[in-house]
Amino acid sequence: MNAIISASELASELTGGNPPVLLDVRWQLSLAKAAGEPPFDGRAAYEAGHMPGAVYVDLDRELASAPGARGRHPLPNLAEFGAAMRRSGVSSRTPVVVYDGGQGWAAARAWWLLRWTGHPDVRVLDGGLPAWEGPLETSVPAPTEGDFQPAPGATGLLDADGAAALARSGVLLDARAGERYRGEVEPIDPRGGHIPGALSAPTNENVGADGRFLPAAELQARFKTLGASEGTEVGVYCGSGVSGAHEVLALAVAGIPAALYVGSWSEWSSDPERPVAVGPDPQ
């Protein structure tokens, strides 16, 4: 099954006999609070105009639990996550398409959570809302309650120890910007640098100027240069498990399964016992 769907393909499916549930997960990593500016309001953006029938999902409240020792976006309470998905109309036998404002990170976080918890048919709208050429609406739908029950998978999730081990035994990719990987800047977390042994693989290099994913063959070639290919054990982390989900999605487009370290750098860097590497060298 494809992990992404184009806007034209989605328009066709929405008029078919089994249209997908649409989830709007607009969100931005915002440093506005530190600058004294109002943070991005995803719900307000949704209410100003969204794809017809789409239900808003709040990343901070429904796709993550409260920030703390496990990072800035730890795994959500699965009972609460399941309830939020059912309220949104998600059922186990109904396809789901997730979109955001175009960056793809938040939509990928929802995609990853639904896939990891057992939903068989969930895709991300490639390019997000800017790729949609159809009408928008402002009315808030009241979907029929879904029946989705989260059933976490045995694979696909890394903790800190698992990420450290994978950096030695397989391929661990750091999806953050290169300057954060190298420790030259760190605008959010306690320490700069990267997990020893991790390779720098900024997620923005997986997409073109329009925000859409590069062709699968180009993604395969990119990841091959990093040592990641089908049959290799691959893991990804980022700052807090959001942009890393986007890299896991890019790997899926390339046909390469990968696990996500959800706690990511926000958890790792908060633990003084965890080693930190700086500079371009993985070690």
The Cα 247–Cα 171 span in angstroms is: 13
The Cα 21–Cα 265 span in angstroms is: 32
CB distance 207 to 264 below 8 Å = no
For residue 70, is it left (φ>0), alpha (ψ between -120 and 50) or beta? alpha
CB distance 129 to 99 below 8 Å = yes
Backbone torsions φ then ψ of 171, nearest 5 degrees? -125, 120
- The Cα-based distances of 69 to 22, 146, 160, 265 in angstroms read 33, 33, 12, 11
Residues 200/188/184/238 CA torsion (nearest 10 deg): 0
Residues 120/165/239/149 CA torsion (nearest 10 deg): 20
Tokens for 190, please give them.
């306690």
Tokens for 160, please give them.
């800190």
Query: What is the set of active-site residues?
Result: 238
CB distance 117 to 151 below 8 Å = yes
